[in-house]
Amino acid sequence: MNQRGNDGDPVVSLVLPTYREEAGIDHALDEIVRVMEGVGESFEIVVVDDGSRDATFERVRLRAARDPRVRGLRFSRNFGKEAALSAGLAAARGSAVVTMDADLQHPPALLPAMIEAWHQGAKIVHAVKRSRGNDGPLVRLRARLFNGLMLRLGGIDLEEASDFKLLDRVVADVLVHRLPERKRFYRGLAAWVGYPTAEIPFDVAARPVGASRWSIVRLADLAITALVSFTSAPLRIVTVLGLLTLALSGLLIMDTLWSWLHGRAVSGFATIILTLLIIGSFIMISLGIIGEYISKIYEEVKHRPHYLVSDSVNFDGARSAAPDPYSRPILSPQQ
Ligand code: UDP
Ligand code: MG
């Protein structure tokens, strides 16, 4: 099954993006280890500390000293969950790679079924949300709006999708090596690659400790990244706005000519103001949409790495994570 064929590589890698989880990380690792020991496949846990300033990485370091299956990476600062996922995928050595949250909202109890589905031949196993834990109505509405927009504009169905997934080595390699974009939207990319998939429903557990770290600004940023990287449909909205204005001006021209021919003074200060305002806002919106795409192009052409690793534990050996990812390219595959 192990397609990399390196002796000593585990069968399953579990990738945990982690940010300020000092209160819960030990318990989460306990749970995951307990479930995985029941599965009976060799495994490793790659904890990517997304630049937490609390004791998260110290906890991981202590754990890794006792248990060689636990490996830890630490970012030099907070680069975001998407970056942490990328780093974890790049570092994982298993024939199957599972990405899951470190707060136990993605229940480890699902792991045996996911691994079983993989053995049955699925290259991607999506864990899909059946219920949304203790999410409030506002969060639900937000998710609904976003998923609808993605489906309509991008043609990608993310309804109830989560970042809890198992990827076969083939798919993990595609994500790491073949998709060079910097700003990523893991959920969408995993749907985009295709391959035989399986779905397993789960109930999002309530967060045992701590609080969600996502601010509304971050979520909006993720939504824009998702839209802009998966579809150019918003650009078409600009064209539609242009056509609308054209139709509007046609009507106005006719009206003006009509009045003029009948010897009436061309009326309507109000009309002028209204037209100006409407056209003005159309232009601003269009510039904004185009601007989003340009900013994404700008970010991509800068070719900056999307994370920097400042520390690591249990990463010695061939695929090691040096503190400076530039010196050992394996952890910055985008270089
Ligand atoms: N996370 C991360 N970087 C961040 C924010 C969150 O790595 O900047 C991790 C976090 O530690 C957790 C997962 O991403 O393992 C999901 O985050 P959270 O539980 O805060 O979000 P939610 O469950 O509300 O989606
Ligand atoms: Mg969570």
Ligand 1, atom 13, lies closest to the CA of 101
DSSP letters along 286-302, please?
Answer: HHHHHHHHHHHHHHHHH
The predicted pLDDT at position 329 comes to 41
pTM of the model: 0.77
CA nearest 116: which of 40, 191, 44?
Answer: 40
What lines the ligand 1 site, CB under 6 Å?
A: 17-19, 21, 50, 78, 80-81, 84, 101-103, 105, 212-214
Confidence of residue 334 (pLDDT cuts 50, 70, 90): very low
Confidence of residue 325 (pLDDT cuts 50, 70, 90): very low
The predicted pLDDT at position 203 comes to 81
**Rounded (5°) CA angle 314-14-127:** 170
% pLDDT > 70, the chain: 88
Ligand 1, atom 12, lies closest to the CA of 101
CA of 91 relative to ligand 2 center, distance in Å: 22
Long-range contacts, stretch 117-120, CB < 8 angstroms, 24+ apart: 117/166, 117/198, 117/200, 118/166, 118/168, 118/198, 120/198
Given a cut of 70, whether residue 3 has pLDDT beyond it is no
Instruction: Give the mean model confidence (pLDDT) for residues 133-153.
Output: 76
CA of 228 relative to ligand 1 center, distance in Å: 22
CA of 18 relative to ligand 1 center, distance in Å: 6
